[in-house]
Amino acid sequence: MICILKEKPFQSRVSSVLNRDVKQYGKKYLFDECEETCWNSDQGSPQWIAIELESAEAIHSFKIQFQGGFAGSKCHLETGMVAGDMEKVESFYPEDVNSVQTFQLTKPVTAKYMKFVFESSTDFFGRIIVYKLEVFGAP
């Protein structure tokens, strides 16, 4: 399996950034492979990360690394071929830990758009902190 976000062009958006400080906590830090940087959302639920691929890809699994205490607790993945017409394809329930967690999709999907929705957080204020997000597909 290949990491689609390392091999293919994509664009991303996030629901919010802590204090609108994109220089310190922006979305680019989800994909920079640096252990010291992260995306930090502002407070409130739900929070989300949306990704638009240049072309449709088969998606099999993903890895995500939260900061303990600021992890998503009830989450789901939405995918689709059109941004405004996405379907919920899988719920996932991360542990409240600092380590990288891997989630295998029950049934692989082909999509151009995906949205990771964090319906609730382990943080009382609904903040989410993510150090790493990788999406995997077929070689």
DSSP E strands in 67-99: the ranges are 72-80, 87-92
Give the CATH number, domain containing residue 8: 2.60.120.260
Query: Is a pLDDT exceeding 90 seen at residue 139?
Result: no
Number of domains in the chain: 1
β-sheet bridge partners, residue 40: 129
What b-and-e string marks burial along 22-38, b requiring 16 or more CB atoms within 10 Å of the CB?
eeebbbebbbeeeeebb
Q: Give the Cα separation of 124 and 115 in Å (integer).
A: 23
Closest by CA position to 91, among listed 68, 113, 108, 73? 73
Q: Give the mean pLDDT of 80-108.
A: 96
**Cβ partners under 8 Å of residue 111, min gap 6:** 53, 56, 57, 59, 79, 80, 81
Query: Is a pLDDT exceeding 70 seen at residue 99?
Result: yes
Mean pLDDT across the chain, nearest whole number?
96
- Residue 84 pLDDT: 86
Tell me what percent of the residues of the chain surpass a pLDDT of 70: 99
Residue 121: which domain range?
A: 2-137
